[in-house]
Structure 1
Amino acid sequence: MPRPRSLTPDRLASAALAVIDREGIAALSMRAVAHELGVSTMALYRYVRDRDELEGLVVELVLGAVDTEPPTSDAPWTERITTMVVRLRDAVAAHPAVLTLTIAHRHRSPGVLRWSETVLGILAEAGYGGERRVIALRCLVSYVNGAIQLEHLGPLSGDGTIALTELPPSGFPYMTETAECARSVGADREFLGGLAVVLRGLET
């Protein structure tokens, strides 16, 4: 039976992403996506082999839109890295539940590979080679992944921070004082401030 032209990879990915955004990653299944599209589950198998392939389409839909062109070479390498990291964060943070999929499919996603290639090029121009470049890239990716999870699962403006401010100061003087300050730190300030700390470490 010919495939309906309307079921393109982008449409499949968009339907899967809608399920994830609405119900979380655990809800993603071939049946759920078929229901989202208004087709039978068996019909979906004409387009993708399994959930793993479907996940790959979702990752590419999210990260394929990331601008991977190198920022202007006139800027310091730390500013160029910041630009690349913010681009990645903005794309993933719009669909935080997809984060685990970007990690699992990082070796097969053209979007991830293009982003990494650009970042590695900037690091190479800054004098990073060998193991140093490996660790630098891994550090940056780890920071983005961890920061996005904290921003959406445990934001500084959330109940967790409030609970910390209510700890007995006699037993947790630094925790309570820091938590009070944390309540006024916005998500962008937290992310960019942390990234600046990471980059200062890489500079040394």
Structure 2
Amino acid sequence: MALREVSVGPKTAMPKGYAFLKKGIKYKTLHCRRLTHEAGKTVYVVESNKKVLGIRVPRDILSRVHAQANETLPARKLATEKRDTAIIRQAAAELDSQFPKIPEEDRDLVLKHGFKKYSGRVGRTSLIPLPRKVLYAVIAHIRHKHTKYDKLLDGGVTRDNARKAIQKTVQDTLRNWGNKQESEEDASES
């Protein structure tokens, strides 16, 4: 069976028996798409200026998915919390391994800030391995909390020059916190 999706504008008439699901709720979008395809119906992708606003799917499917989402919400929230707790626990173990002498306050701030959910920070990416994420989160923490980096930027110094100016402080702090593997290249790039 061919999956059928058609792009339409927001002013295009709503097909009979269809309803709109705005973009942003991955669970509902995924299930609406899957069930619509399984039913052999068309998913209408609503776009404006090349931005997806949402999808139009059969009303009965959307109603079923809304009900299913409400029923499964507590279990999904619990699973997400467990997953997030595991991520932080793994990051904490890696942080303790790489930086055995990091002060407790700095350790807590690195975990809280660098691994904050939905922050877009390095600790949340899935593109690099955990040891690197921890290293980069620590470097960023040192840069912003233990150097004059932000003042340099505020004073008009370029990012590269500000990083070069604080590189020795970052390197020294990494060594003081017990890290022996940090290279100068990592400290200036991250």
Larger strand fraction of residues: 2
